[in-house]
Structure 1
Amino acid sequence: MEKRLGTLSIFIENENVSSKVNEILHEFRKIVISRMGTPYREKQVAVIVVILNGTTDEIGALSGKLGNIKGISVKSAISKIK
């Protein structure tokens, strides 16, 4: 299966789940190119943006695992770039 360039936007509304998010990102570290996280204290949310290079199945699996965590919103985008 072909690899694609993709992104994940992760919104953490419950800081108690941050360690679980980091655990899952570490599990998928082979497809992670870059990651940036910023706390937005005014809104009591943390935002993490991750750039990925993986198959659509890998990116979907990562997005799905993160999306199953209560207190988190995840949005993914996959480019046509191979």
Structure 2
Amino acid sequence: METRVAVMSILVENSDTAEKLNAILHAYNQYIVGRMGIPYRKRGINIISIALDAPQDVISALAGKIGNLPGISVKTAYSSKIYPE
């Protein structure tokens, strides 16, 4: 199976969904290379950046699950290089 490196940017505007978001990320932890979270208290949002190395369908499924949470926006940028697993 081939994998790609990607960076997922997540904006959390509804802190009530943080527990659900963390549960989803935990379920995909085998694909997460690194994670950085920044609480932006002035604006009342949290900014999360996730580095991934996973098959493209897994990355897309993760982004879809996160994007379906209320008050959360997600965008993904993919590396052009594909790696054998």
**TM-score bucket of the superposed structures, by smaller chain:** over 0.9
Percent of residue pairs bearing the same amino acid type: 43
2:61 pairs with 1:52: no
> In the TM superposition, what whole-angstrom CA distance separates every residue of 1:23-80 from its partner, at most 9, and x where no partner exists?
0000000100000001001111000000000010000000000000010000001111
Partner of 1:76: 76
Q: Which has the higher strand share?
A: 2
CA RMSD of aligned residues (A): 0.7
Match of 2:30 in 1: 30
The whole-number CA distance in structure 2 between the counterparts of 1:62 and 1:78 is: 14
Q: Distance in 2 between matches of 1:19 and 1:33?
A: 21
Unaligned 5+ residue runs, structure 2?
A: none
Letter aligned with residue 28 of structure 2: F
| Structure 1 residue aligned with 2:6 | 6
For the residues of structure 2 that align with 1:44 and 1:19, how far apart are their CA atoms?
A: 17
Following superposition, which runs of at least 4 residues in structure 1 exceed 4 angstroms of deviation?
none
Structure 1: give runs of 5+ residues left out of the alignment: none
TM-score (norm 1): 0.96
The equivalent residue for 1:17 is: 17
